[in-house]
Amino acid sequence: MTATDPALTALAQGWCALSLLHGRIEAHIERALQAKHRLSVREYSLLDVLSRQHDGDGGHLQMKQVADAVVLSQSATTRLVTRLEDRGLLERYLCPTDRRGIYTNVTDAGLKLLEEARPTNDAALREALDEAAKNPELAPLVRAVESLKAPATA
């Protein structure tokens, strides 16, 4: 394969289209969440991930797992947790079985804000997908996203 190979060019174009779709969706959701709830997309994602924790086996996420779930580095995730903790939306505590482990929980204020922001997030996502579907390059990707099913929960 050479750098001008049609298969590589098509692959690169597909990647560019996917990146464009992601950027447009994220920017649209960001504007909506900031305007109505003073939340960034990353903050919303972190609250959402942490709100799904439970008290059963494996129910509380370690910082690396949280970082992976919100697609940030561990250091960026720690800074994000600190910002939300300073706003009273999260709280940290020591793991009861391993004093080296630190877990993070969403506070009642954080759960309330997440509940208020969820319809905004969902509506902004729908709007961004509808707008992207008008673009012939992005329409197939929008259809692919819309066809995805959420993983079954245990």
pLDDT at 47: 97
Is pLDDT larger for residue 146 or for residue 56?
A: 146
pLDDT confidence of residue 143: 96
Q: How far apart are CA 141 and CA 135, in angstroms?
A: 10
Q: What is the Cα–Cα distance from 104 to 124, expressed in whole angstroms? A: 27
Q: Sketch out the chain's domains with CATH numbers.
A: 9-147 (1.10.10.10)
83 CB burial (10 A radius; 0-12, 13-18, 19+): middle
- Summarised one tens digit per residue, pLDDT across range 99-137 is 777 888 999 999 999 999 999 999 999 999 999 999 999
d(CA 55, CA 49): 14
Give first-to-last CA distance, the chain, whole Å.
44
Confidence of residue 2 (pLDDT cuts 50, 70, 90): low
pTM as predicted = 0.85
What's the confidence (pLDDT) of residue 87?
97
